[in-house]
Amino acid sequence: MLGGVPLRLLLVHAPIGLLLFGTLLILISFKWTSFRLFAFITLVAGLLSDAVDFLSEDRAEEYAEANLPSVTEAMIENHEHFALYSLIAFSITVVLLAIGYRAKGKLCIILSFVVALIGAGLLADAGHLGGQMVYAKKLKKTSVSIKMRQTSSIFFVF
């Protein structure tokens, strides 16, 4: 806890950035092979930080259930599932990238990029579900104010 907020909620963005950047580095490594090692190191760092993040989610779950009344158990469960699936996908990516780096072949690099893209999609879904939980109250207020502005502007048009 840091200032009453679980540390996980503050550090959740580091693995997202590292894993997405690692996916971009795999794409760059098709043109310049020297980026493969950089992609591998970035993905391993992202996986390690994601594993720590995944293991610390119990406290964040307790915090969400206690402080975010709009969060349901089903929302948390969906978020956890997508986070786990992205962790598995990026683990497979790292293994394929390591094999491709040692074998100097293109097939493993291509497969690692495809699996990394799948992992990035799963990670985006997990992030979207997590954002819905944290910012649901703010989004409801914003949508109400937008509807009010739209109805008032319609009134002025007529």
Closest CA to 131 of 86, 75, 54: 75
Q: For position 13, what pLDDT does the model report?
A: 80
For the cut 50, the answer to whether the pLDDT of residue 155 exceeds it is no
Strand partners, 5: 2
Position of tokens 């944290």?
A: 134
Residue range 49-75: mean pLDDT, rounded:
72
**How far are the Cα atoms of 95, 97, 155 from residue 132, in angstroms, in the given order?**
32, 33, 32
Q: Does residue 34 surpass a pLDDT of 80?
A: yes
Q: What is the pLDDT of residue 126?
A: 86
73 vs 157, higher pLDDT: 73
For 43, other C-beta atoms within 10 Å of its C-beta total: 27
Share of the chain above pLDDT 70, in %: 70
State residue 152's pLDDT score: 39
